Structure 1
Amino acid sequence: MQPNSKSQDSSDIDSTDREIIQLLRLDGRMSFTKVAQRLDVPETTVRYRVQRLLQQDIIRIIAWPNPEKTGKPHFMIVWFDVENAQIDTVAEQLSQMDEVQFLAVIAAGRFNIVTDIYFKDHVDLVNFFTQIHQIPGIQHYESHLVLKLLKAQYNYVLDS
């Protein structure tokens, strides 16, 4: 599916779109019929709007596996200090690693890349660090083992 060439922002969605998005955030499997009933609009309206929101890359509906139940129970945050000229290259290499589930290039502070990694056991962790030691441009990194994950969701409030 090709992204729509028109740039989309929150002003391109109306209150009905926001209500649909809110319901799908609670249950991404909710049927168009059930959404329509909850909002008191025709099912065809919901179907059209969800398809438009998906096509315009305003929303994504995904299955988010539970790492503890799918064999990757350990979670670590790794901060990288990378040579400025190598940031894009290093970020691309890190993003290709299976353990890396989140990656962001950041500004300010002593690090310029942050990642979340999930791993099965000590062997996986050692393999991950062995791989990153082979990536040119990484000057320094800090890793922080997450002992208890208290919240992991992306439920930011949509602008009205």
Structure 2
Amino acid sequence: MNQPHIGIGAPIMLDNLDREIIGLLKVDGRMSFTDVAKKLNLPEATARYRVQRLLQSKIVKIHASPNPEHLGTPHIVIVQLFVENSQIDAVATALVEIEEVQFVAVTAGHHNIVIDVSFGAHSEMLAFYAKLHQIPGIIRYESQVVMKLLKAEYKYVLS
């Protein structure tokens, strides 16, 4: 079933070929147009056009995911925040601006906001909490230190 992408300009309908291309790029975002064409038995021009259309429409974005353990930031903390309802957007925006914060989500349920934060040393964690305490609207928070990261990958299903 085709799903429109709602965004700037006309919606783009994803077909099976788009889904196959996205599947290949999820495995290797640096795959050449030539390799995409070979794997899907397409002309290279078609592969180039389709990939560029997916990128330009912002249906697909390709990025590198650094490994925190090899970059000197091996400590990850998950923080769940209880925030005043009228301050949720302002708190989330403030959290996005903090360099150590890697993930911010406004959530429904027990907590209002969930964040992931990366540190190299415990002193950096203390500095982060000092910043957190300066943000108005936070009622309280709970933190969990990640002891062993087994998977950090978001896979979105294309229906």
Could you tell me the TM-score, scaled by structure 1's length?
0.92
1:154 is matched with: 154
Task: Find the residue that maps to 2:25 and give its secondary structure.
Answer: helix
1:5 is matched with: 9
**Alignment gaps of 5+ in structure 1:** none
Task: Find the residue that maps to 2:58 and give its secondary structure.
Answer: coil
Distance 1:100 1:7 in 2: 32
| 1:16 corresponds to 2:3 | no
Pairwise CA RMSD: 1.2
Structure with the bigger RCO (C-alpha within 8 Å, sep 6+) is 1
2:4 is matched with: none
TM alignment of 1:21-36, pairs within 5 A: 21-36=22-37
Distance 1:115 1:29 in 2: 29
Q: How many residues align?
A: 153
Moved beyond 6 Å, runs of 4+ = none
| 1:106 corresponds to 2:107 | yes
Tell me if structure 2 keeps the 8 A contact 1:4–1:55.
no
1:133 is matched with: 133
2:3 is matched with: none
Q: Deviations over 1:103-131 (max 9, x none)?
A: 0000122x100001111111110000000
Deviation of 1:27 after TM superposition, in Å, equals 0.6
Distance 1:138 1:77 in 2: 16
Could you tell me the TM-score, scaled by structure 2's length?
0.92
Distance 1:153 1:93 in 2: 24
